[in-house]
Amino acid sequence: MRRELGWAGIAVAMLAVATGGAEGYARLAAPYYAAVARLMALGHPWQIVSVEVGPSAVGPGSVLVLVGDVRRHAGDARPSARVVARVHVGEAVETPAVFWTLLLLWPAVAFRRRLVRIAVGFPVFLGLEAITTGVALVHGVAEAADFLASGRDRLTLGEGWTRFLEAGGHFGIEVCAALLVIVLTQTGDKATLSSYASPGARAR
């Protein structure tokens, strides 16, 4: 019971730090977002120049700022436009706050299971960051490239995904990702326990 209360305290502390330290987290995560954005740019007529944290131009707080150069054709020597995309740091910190708080608060029968859950959760979390904040940063550049290529404003897959995230899908995906990790680790533990409980395992 004391151990569970300890993990609950860690989760609550993490949530508090995330709420108050959104800008610090965004600065820490900016190089990862830049790497994700450049990976998404491969094979497309646009290039990521930088991803940094700066002051918001429309209100208090700070924003993640992505700067990208867009070309009409991939072989063009000079870019046709420069796009600046912004995501508020409060939106960026939502993913770790929800994902890790849920993962740490979820009951576990053993300390080992919780450690396994954290280990499995880390790569899932990186992918979650890529498809949420990473896509939110990149989609403006991708939209500009599509407009230059087609000459018309049309709903692309990236724009549809971003609208889904903004309509509440962001929170739903975070919860589903955490639950996926929980289910995977529980399934693994059950399989291990079953193997040890089987007659063949006891014979060995």
* 90: three-class secondary structure by DSSP: helix
Residue 85 · residue 137 · CB < 8 Å: yes
Q: What 3-state DSSP class applies to 51?
A: strand
57 part of a folded domain:
yes
- Whether 203 is covered by a domain: the verdict is no
Domain assignment present for residue 18? The answer is: yes
Q: What is the C-alpha to C-alpha distance for residues 79 and 182, in angstroms, rounded to an integer?
A: 46
Q: DSSP label at 93? A: H
What is the model's pLDDT at position 11? 59
In a domain, 201, yes or no: no
Specify the range with the lowest mean pLDDT, choosing from 1-5, 22-26, 67-71, 113-117: 1-5
Write the pLDDT tens digit of every residue in 122-145: 999 999 999 999 999 998 888 888
Q: Quote the number of domains for the chain.
A: 1
Taking the whole predicted model, whether its pTM rises above 0.85 is answered as no
In a domain, 153, yes or no: yes
Structural domain containing residue 62? 2-189
For residues 5 and 70, give the distance between their C-alpha atoms in angstroms, rounded to a whole number. 51
Q: Is residue 42 part of a domain?
A: yes
Determine contact, residues 78/69, Cβ cutoff 8 Å.
no
Whether residue 145 lies inside any domain: the answer is yes
Helix (H) or strand (E) holding 80: none
The verdict on residue 127 lying in a domain is yes
